[in-house]
Amino acid sequence: MGVIDLKNRYCRAFTMPEVALAVGVVAFGLVAVFSVLPFGIKAQRDNRDDTVIRYEGEYWAEALLGEGLDLADLSRVEMVQTYDGNTTSPLVFSYPKNTPNNSPEKKTWVRDVCGWLSRPASDGQGNVISPHGNFALVKSFNGSLFDRKYGDANMAEDENRDFAFGYILEIVPEMIDGGKGCRLRLKFSWPLSEEDYFGIRNGTVTLKSRSGKLARKKEWELRMPGKQIVPVLWRCDLNLRERLFMEKMSGRYYSGASVKAADMTDPQVFKVLEANALKRFSQANGYRVMVRGRVTDPFQLADQLPNVPATFAGGHVGMNLINVQNGESYPLASVLGVQGPVRFGSVKVPSVRDLGSVLTPGPFPGGDIERFKIAFLEPQEAGEDVLRLFSEEQSGRRYFGLNQPWRPLLIDADGEFYVAQPMFETTHRPAGAWEKVGPNPFEGNPNAPRMFMIRK
Amino acid sequence: MLILKNINRRRNAFTMVEMMAAVTISIILILLMYGIFDKVQTVFVVGQNRARAMEEARAAMDMLKRDFESIDGAEPLEIKLRGRARMPVGEVLNPFFVQTSFTSEDDGYRLVEYMYGGRNTYEMAGLPTDSPVGAIWLWRSPVVVSKSQLSEKKAIHRSQIQDFDRANMGGGYPENLVAYGKMIDGVIHFGVRKVAPAVEGARETHLEIEIAVLDQKLMKEVEYGLGQALEGETDSFKYQRRMELILENLDRVYFFRQLVRLN
């Protein structure tokens, strides 16, 4: 009996299987605990990303409805892809990182981005514009300063750049009610892996395919209404006189101020050079003029001026060289000083030539120049005539390369005239006839997709 | 027979050596687990700090945005530069600070003023010279139904409470400031700028509002940690060291930029 007691007591120690089982259970518990931790950390990161994306959404919504705001941050848009007509491969535009900071491409990039991203699926007239949506590869505007620093366009070559938070933005603007209204859908897809960036940059994948429902890709969508989607007004849509007018008046669109007939004769708006002033400036600067269609010198060829052929029937600089003695006027193509072209309009993009050919045989000589003056209005024209002309419907007229009915430059509201839409400067557009001539011609891109503007 | 059986059984228990080996392994495992937990805890705390900093910055930004959206377009919007940081942050932020005041129109009228100031006081004289870190201060007048009620009365009222604050500051009670309330702490950049379309002669149609905020832990490291370590050093040296520490921790500084349409 005593033997049995002792034996039972010593059997209470853990056996090896028991210990192994216990260790197994503990290990299982630990693994379970550790496997939960990354979810907590990931949840934190996801929350941060969500916050950033919502701020990005609000920023983009205002930027797109801002009608061409000068926003430096849009240089963080690395690439835009849009579609033209029924083609399935996208048109790709990349940030011009290798051009100088004051290059026209960089200066207009911000507005170009908004112009491309605002392209609707169709123009409301049954014409297909961008049926697959518009896409942008963006480094976030908001977030940590690390992301700000390495997401900056100037850090394009830095190895840390792709660690900066980025996303794909898809924008689908839709015209509704036959073009009388519109709505916008903005979809954000993130995060982007190194593989994503690699594929996108070397062109093996498109932003459209990467913004789809890929595994592990998060998405957030924002829908908002707009007022109207309209084609932006390019220089090549206008003749020279209209261009000059819009250069001076585009600012009124944003201020909401009306255009007055008196503005047409106001020398503060449209420079006027009367005979004496023209003579004085000519003697000081060696002015030479080019009249429409032909390089000429009014002194040597004064008698031939009425016979100048109207080769460039499409337009003129907007200023007229007027013979004050007999009232004859000649539309000007350019006026030159020794320092270069005298610009009656304020052309903000230097390399986008406005006036075509520039060389003339010689300056105005002292005597004959007194017969001339330079003004916006023709001798028999009143300011009101110009306003009415620019507010008239022009049946059959279309935007350059687009089957879209022309919208008058001015809206006539019971005798008050308002600018209907501003003129957009860009290098991503076709060149007008006047821009293809001269020593520094602007060739443009004849196949550039039309940009649009969304009104709030 | 009985004794032999007992001895055999005792051999089945763990020996001292086995126990020591087991304890050693356990200690190694515990240390390993502690290391992992510590790391995870650190990451978690850093994440929490970030989340809190973002939350605070977001709340501040939402308040700023709401106020700026309700600007009465008929009244002037004043934006004055209060100062600039003496060092840029990285290549992308050149911090500056503004004071901005405007009339807000939302179920009545009131004057609103946001300004960058020190962490302890909104007064320019109180801005520290040894640190780039400050705070955004806010003053809102009571809401009135008519704009005419706003003008001088409120300005006088504000100046009176500022005088009150100044008098109290001599007594060392900065927490009792009443003219302006501290909206958010740990700010290194507060900018408000008007934005116009890129067309000559176009009027400004939008405002861009920017803030950059440190997370609380980084702020403590910058303000108190370095403050103790650099005791006795010159203000400009402290300022430089603090800025350098911020530069080393750019991932813990949050930047928000929003666009607001002006009425």
Q: Name the least confident of A387-396, B151-160, B185-194, B239-248.
A: B151-160
Q: Which residue has the higher pLDDT, B125 or B261?
A: B261
pLDDT above 60 for A62: yes
Taking residues A234-263, report their average pLDDT: 87
* Residues A380, B152: Cα–Cα separation, whole Å: 55
Collect all residues of chain A within an 8 Å Cβ-Cβ radius of residue B10.
10
Place of tokens 């501290």: B182
- pLDDT per residue over B143-186, tens digit each? 888 877 777 666 677 777 777 777 776 655 556 677 788 899 99
What's residue A409's pLDDT? 94
Q: Which residue has the higher pLDDT, B103 or A384?
A: A384
| Structural domain boundaries in chain A | 47-231, 235-446
Strand partners, A233: A423
Residue A215's pLDDT band, with cuts at 50, 70 and 90, is: low
Strand partners, A231: A452
Judged by CB atoms closer than 8 Å, whether chains meet at A6 and B5 is answered as yes
pLDDT above 90 for A411: yes
pLDDT above 70 for A313: no
What's residue A304's pLDDT? 35
What's residue A3's pLDDT? 52
The pairs formed by B52-58 with CB atoms below 8 angstroms and a separation of 24 or more are: B52/B215, B52/B216, B53/B186, B53/B213, B53/B214, B53/B215, B53/B216, B53/B252, B53/B254, B54/A48, B54/A51, B54/B254, B56/B184, B56/B213, B57/B184, B57/B211, B57/B213, B57/B254, B57/B256, B58/A51, B58/A55, B58/B256
pLDDT above 50 for A312: no
What's residue A213's pLDDT? 55
Touching A: B residues 163-192, CB under 8 Å: none
Judged by CB atoms closer than 8 Å, whether chains meet at A145 and B261 is answered as no
Where are the alpha helices (H) located in A307-397, listed in sequence order?
383-390
- Report CA-CA distances (Å) from A246 to A102, A113, A252, A423, B198: 23, 22, 10, 6, 14
Phi, psi of B254 (to 5 degrees): -110, 135
ipTM of the complex: 0.82
Collect all residues of chain B within an 8 Å Cβ-Cβ radius of residue A148.
90, 92-93, 250, 255
* Residues A390, A376: Cα–Cα separation, whole Å: 14
Residue A82's pLDDT band, with cuts at 50, 70 and 90, is: very high
CB within 8 Å of B245: residues ≥ 6 apart: B218, B221, B222, B226
Q: Give which of A435, A407, A434, A432 is closest to A421, Cα–Cα.
A: A407
What's residue A434's pLDDT? 61
Percent of chain A's residues with pLDDT above 90: 23
What's residue A348's pLDDT? 28
CB proximity B76 to A under 8 Å:
no
- pLDDT per residue over A34-43, tens digit each? 787 778 778 8
Residues A267-281 as b/e (b if ≥16 CB within 10 A, e otherwise) read eebbbbbbbeebbeb
Collect all residues of chain B within an 8 Å Cβ-Cβ radius of residue A7.
5, 9
- pLDDT per residue over A12-35, tens digit each? 677 888 888 888 898 888 888 878
Mutate to test the interface with A, among B188, B259, B260, B262 (most CBs of A within 10 A): B259
pLDDT above 60 for B200: yes
Collect all residues of chain B within an 8 Å Cβ-Cβ radius of residue A248.
201
- Report CA-CA distances (Å) from A427 to A350, A361, A451: 11, 31, 12
What's residue A115's pLDDT? 94
Does A191 sit behind a cis peptide bond, omega within 30 degrees of 0 on the bond before it? yes
Phi, psi of B214 (to 5 degrees): -85, 150
Judged by CB atoms closer than 8 Å, whether chains meet at B9 and A7 is answered as yes
| Structural domain boundaries in chain B | 33-261
pLDDT above 80 for A274: no
